Structure 1
Amino acid sequence: MRAIVPWFIILVVLGINQSWARSPTGTYAPGNVDCPVGPLVQPAYSLCREEKDWLQGRRLVVRPYLLEFLQRTHIDFDPTKLVMESDVTIACAFSGGGYRAMLLGAGALAALDRRSPGSMDLNHLGGLLQASTYMAGLSGGAWLVTSVYFNNFSSIGELVGSHKVWNLQENLVWPNDPIQHWLGPIGDSLDKAQAGFPLSITDLWGRVLSKVLINQKGGGAALSWSDIQSYDYYNLYQAPLPIVTMNERPPGTVIMPTNATIFEVTPHYLGSFDPTVAAFARLKYLGSYLENGMPVEGRCINGFDNAGFICATSSSLFNDVLVKLVKRSRSIGKVIFSLIFAVADMTNLDIANFTPNPFYKFDNPLVPKERNKLASQHTLALVDEGETINIPFQPLLNPEREVDIIFAFDNSADTADNWPNGIVLDSTFQRQFAIQSPLKGQHTRFPYVPPPKEFIEQELNKRPVFFGCDPSAIPQIPGTEAPLPPLIVYIPNTGISYASNFSTFQLRYPKTQLHGLINNGYNLATRGNGTEDIHWQTCVACAILKRGMDRTGMQSDYCDWCFQEYCWAPSISEYEDREEQVLTDEVEEDEQSDEFDEAWDSYDQNYEYESSMDDSECDDTEPSHW
């Protein structure tokens, strides 16, 4: 039975909620607006017009930054003609993994950012962020993307140095003053509920995250993900296009297989190129009641695509963590928990509730009616993609985005001691055999990769690796016509300069750990500023130009050496017989529960230790690079 807390009591306690005004209501609650002309949902025939238009401007901006970087390397040919005649599209993909992934990803991002002190020095990678076209994140990686973009595309040094965000010294869920910490998020969520929208734990999780990630009053309660289009950095093409990903969980589904439908969110649209959906809804108008893509009774909504809510949807695995921690708390925790329990749906804890479903009754010519199950559902249920594939590869593999290279930063905790084991690569490899777009122009390919056991045996999780170097050794699915996929530059988390294998569920980081993780991420991206390999900067340049070289037949002795050093070469005879199956990687809910319990038992001990630390033990010195 649900615990009932009278709403008038909650409202008296909370008072009036005040927020920055981006939603029409000026609060977390979505509000009514006039509808635009035309449909709000479109079949996924191609990239949306808004993205295509933006790409034209961005490509003009990235060229000089890319040439500047290439000219700082020791590459043995003039890359100018190759860059000018063939657009080089660079993408960065940041894995999930909680604060660990966010902070390690932040260090890597700082290494690629020419604004970071020292990043333009010899053997460094500064300028590659400015030369990139896409940046994708999920779960903890989505926290990084959200924080950077909704703080005006600030540098990592600016974010950490501001002391306005990323104050991780207190537990994210249960800080020193939990009542003050939770009243705001609960009040924000009540605003949404009073506006007639059902709540889930994801709403509360998003409000808590926003307070840590976004430097606005109340964490920007009225800030929408589509508001990215209003920032100068977007309109002047000064930043990559951000993408966050999540999975659909159909009603009644307990097991999340690797072939689950992957949704993506850009500043323009939410949707999927997967054949089960193959459609996109205008992000700004989520929350509007639609039938067949058109507003019902001509009424539309803005503000449903709250920045924190979208970010929390991509990390909804933490909903269960949140509830478990509050349940274990003492008397004051029970009060807070009762408030949460009163306003949010406590079933299907890891689901973000997108009601109304924008794809309701959408007659999609790309999806046969018998497969178009989403069109019959009033609710679109989305969850953390990290429950299946923990790096957001899928949006970047779409041939229409013409991505040449993906820098994949894997900060997963796959092994017993919280290091990656490459399963995200194997899952993505196997997914291509089960999931393909209904349109030939969107067929995807992914290079051969070793399964996790061999991955570890070959110690590929301890150093950067290039996958997909040999165009002839990349599988072509029968019946598809996909071009060469991007080269994958895989950079796994290792303790190159700091023991960085913290639990995904650690929600409090003293400054020494925060700085240690960011610095480690920087060193992972630069291979210790070239101390592990003085050729690394030039080999990165070769990797960036690899697909252009493949297209033109250009050769380079220096690059050939780099490819010998960093490319993983599969034995085709070994892999051509692999079954073309979907890697289910099934995890039952009760098994997840045991995993969380064990993780929190371990975390509680760490938390007690960290809570006893004197502030003098926390070194406030920030590494010079960021």
Structure 2
Amino acid sequence: MLGPLLLSAVFSVVPVFASYAPQKEICPITSIVRAANGLSDDEETYRVARKAVADVALKAWLAKTDSGFGTDNLPTVAITTSGGGYRSLLSGAGVIQALDDRDSNGTTSGLYQAMTYQAGLSGGAWLLSSIAGNNYPTVSYLKENLWHEAFRDSLLDPDFLLASVAYVEVVSDIAEKDAAGYDVTLTDPWGRLLSYQLLDGTDGGVSTTLSSITGFSNFTSHAVPFPVITSLGVKVWEGQCLPGPNATTYEFSPYEFGSWDSDVSAFVQTHYLGTSMSEGKPTGLCTTNYDNLGYVLGTSSTLFNELCLSVPTAENSSTDIYDDLAAILNRVHEVTTSDLYATYPNPFYDYISSTAVSNIANNVSAQDHLSLVDGGEALQNNPIFPFLQPARNISVILVNDNSADTSTNYPNGSEILTTYVQSFNHNLTLMPFIPSVETFISEGLNTRATFFGCNDTSKITIVYLPNYNFTFDSGVSTSQLEYSETEQDEMVTNGNAIAEQGGKDGWATCLGCAIMMKTGETLASGCTACLEEYCYYQ
């Protein structure tokens, strides 16, 4: 369990230096790149230790929920939060809050403590980064001490940006990175401005890197789910501006960056992202600090490539954040189409993984840089792929979908359906069957919880939790950049209701049934009716 966390000491991790620019250091003797032939030793160690802690919490939650559950054989449970800007961050935060026994006393509280993995994409990555990057405080703490003011006076609103001290600091940060010899693109000011809203600390948490999370107290004690952030690769060398439906999915974790996909099938240590590599070996000194957490969460939400062959006008504007970002970057260099992507020196340059399909991998390995964009651009707005990897041994995924598929900015099932279709192209056999959008709408699956994979023990169980207006019209446009404190509170409260399914009688027991139904353990007496109500059967 997360245990008695002292919130006054949440932000107690002190970085060695406060700089946005990457640094150079002597490389380790051991290899920093590996083939994707399983989990890294570090993640496997964390997974095993975290699972032991999570099992204690899951057993306690099940006993509290319904004493009829057997608890000798417990599954590995994960949770994902979709893309969708502040809408997804706030709705997803409400879901997490309802599951967190430090922050809620509802029927689902305590289940967050039972999670072994947590993934976020775009707006969901903002949420996950704000939680993990601040040493896992409660949602209430983040809301009251960081988000309330930051989202009310959002730096993504040009009016606030132009009047802020952050404008000057961000220009200085990216100029420093450029002077150190590293590419800077629109993702740099984008990620820096988001960091001021999501991360505590000097200069918008500039010292927080993704790999630094491994030193945070709640991580070292295995008290929290292992975090994963996703992004997509764009084949700019083929003239593409957008990721195709079968685009390479890259994942960032505190330990590694890379992809399980057959065109890469390799990982590099996150701490050494940005290092110039060839054939899996550094070509000189190693780079550190490239994995700035703001840059990573900005990468997962980079949509500038949708401008394709045009670039935003480099001028200070009171109406267009793209123009303002271009104006910031233009202080360093003239903005071009290459700046529409998050750029990473390719750690897999001239490297063909032993687990890759070599005739495919040559396409990626021939590039000296990777161009990454928002993880949801290929109609896969839920970061499910990382948890379909057999090595992680995940049995149940809670999927909180806050996509804006409809004219009223609610999900209609199209995103998770695309994930199901694309799972075949990626040889991810654990993905359960997902029905058509027409079925989602006709059967109301996009307005309530649904369990997928119930009747197939060879598949992961997905507990689908779509955004729905239980207590508040939470279908807010993704482009909304400001939220009053009242709006924030209402969005989070509605997220609580999504996790609790509007307070429906027996819901927590039914959720327990979904989690435990494939374990072979004794189920609560009400599970037959629960599964009949919530399971989708082909």
With normalisation by structure 1, the TM-score equals 0.79
Task: Work out whether 1:150 is the aligned partner of 2:133.
Answer: yes
- Secondary structure in 2 aligned to 1:72? helix
Contact 2:312 2:323 in 1 (8 A): no
Distance 1:69 1:90 in 2: 13
* Cα separation, partners in 2 of 1:329 and 1:556, compared to 1, 3 Å: closer
Aligned match of 1:176: 160
Contact 2:404 2:410 in 1 (8 A): yes
Contact 2:230 2:300 in 1 (8 A): yes
* Cα separation, partners in 2 of 1:236 and 1:336, compared to 1, 3 Å: closer
Query: Among residues 489, 493, 518, which one is paired with 1:547 in the alignment?
Result: 518
* Cα separation, partners in 2 of 1:397 and 1:561, compared to 1, 3 Å: same
Aligned match of 2:63: 71
Task: Work out whether 1:310 is the aligned partner of 2:300.
Answer: no
- The residue type paired with residue 39 of structure 2 is L
Once the two structures are TM-superposed, the CA of residue 346 in structure 1 deviates from its matched residue by 3.4
Structure 1 residues 112-191: aligned runs within 5 Å: 112-119=99-106, 124-163=107-146, 167-173=150-156, 174-176=158-160, 178-179=162-163, 180-191=165-176
Contact 2:80 2:384 in 1 (8 A): yes
Contact 2:241 2:306 in 1 (8 A): no
Aligned match of 1:566: 534
- Secondary structure in 2 aligned to 1:539? helix
Aligned positions, number: 516
Aligned match of 2:98: 111
Distance 1:333 1:548 in 2: 50
Distance 1:140 1:175 in 2: 22
Once the two structures are TM-superposed, the CA of residue 325 in structure 1 deviates from its matched residue by 10
Distance 1:396 1:166 in 2: 34
Aligned match of 1:280: 267
Task: Work out whether 1:514 is the aligned partner of 2:514.
Answer: no
- The residue type paired with residue 455 of structure 1 is F
- Secondary structure in 2 aligned to 1:264? strand
Range 37-46 or range 447-456, more displaced: 447-456
Contact 1:448 1:468 in 2 (8 A): yes
Once the two structures are TM-superposed, the CA of residue 350 in structure 1 deviates from its matched residue by 4.1
Query: Among residues 393, 405, 429, which one is paired with 1:402 in the alignment?
Result: 393
Once the two structures are TM-superposed, the CA of residue 247 in structure 1 deviates from its matched residue by 0.5
Task: Work out whether 1:435 is the aligned partner of 2:393.
Answer: no
* Cα separation, partners in 2 of 1:320 and 1:310, compared to 1, 3 Å: same
- The residue type paired with residue 559 of structure 1 is C
Distance 2:32 2:360 in 1: 21
Range 64-73 or range 235-244, more displaced: 64-73
- The residue type paired with residue 419 of structure 2 is T
Deviations 1:248-283 (A, max 9, x none): 111221342221110111110001111111000111
Distance 2:44 2:483 in 1: 40
Distance 1:324 1:110 in 2: 40
* Cα separation, partners in 2 of 1:463 and 1:420, compared to 1, 3 Å: same
Aligned match of 2:375: 385
- Secondary structure in 1 aligned to 2:519? helix
Aligned match of 1:194: 179
Aligned match of 1:31: 23
Structure 1 residues 481-560: aligned runs within 5 Å: 484-528=458-502, 530=503, 533-549=504-520, 557-560=525-528
Deviations 1:223-255 (A, max 9, x none): 210001000111100000000000111122134
Contact 2:314 2:327 in 1 (8 A): no
Aligned match of 2:407: 416
- Secondary structure in 2 aligned to 1:168? helix
Distance 1:332 1:225 in 2: 26
Distance 2:142 2:162 in 1: 25
Structure 1 residues 218-367: aligned runs within 5 Å: 218-251=203-236, 252-297=239-284, 299-317=285-303, 323=312, 329=318, 337-343=326-332, 345-348=335-338, 350-354=340-344, 356-367=345-356
Once the two structures are TM-superposed, the CA of residue 332 in structure 1 deviates from its matched residue by 13
- The residue type paired with residue 232 of structure 2 is N
Deviations 1:83-112 (A, max 9, x none): 3xxxx2110000000000000000000000
Structure 1 residues 447-458: aligned runs within 5 Å: 447-458=432-443
Contact 1:75 1:542 in 2 (8 A): no
- The residue type paired with residue 526 of structure 1 is E
* Cα separation, partners in 2 of 1:221 and 1:376, compared to 1, 3 Å: same
Distance 2:39 2:138 in 1: 29
Once the two structures are TM-superposed, the CA of residue 319 in structure 1 deviates from its matched residue by 7.4
- The residue type paired with residue 488 of structure 2 is L
Distance 2:316 2:534 in 1: 48
Once the two structures are TM-superposed, the CA of residue 413 in structure 1 deviates from its matched residue by 0.2
Distance 2:78 2:452 in 1: 15
Distance 2:323 2:375 in 1: 31
* Cα separation, partners in 2 of 1:412 and 1:23, compared to 1, 3 Å: farther
Deviations 1:138-158 (A, max 9, x none): 000000000011111000011
Distance 1:195 1:348 in 2: 19
Contact 1:165 1:214 in 2 (8 A): no
Distance 1:362 1:168 in 2: 43
Distance 1:243 1:139 in 2: 12
Deviations 1:523-549 (A, max 9, x none): 111022x2xx21101011111112213
Contact 1:21 1:27 in 2 (8 A): no
- The residue type paired with residue 526 of structure 2 is Y
Distance 2:469 2:197 in 1: 26
Contact 1:412 1:419 in 2 (8 A): yes
Deviations 1:317-365 (A, max 9, x none): 26769957966538999888544224254314541010x2111111322
* Cα separation, partners in 2 of 1:255 and 1:330, compared to 1, 3 Å: closer
Distance 2:327 2:470 in 1: 44
- Secondary structure in 1 aligned to 2:353? coil
Identical positions, percent: 34
Once the two structures are TM-superposed, the CA of residue 75 in structure 1 deviates from its matched residue by 5.1
Distance 2:295 2:482 in 1: 21
* Cα separation, partners in 2 of 1:539 and 1:513, compared to 1, 3 Å: same
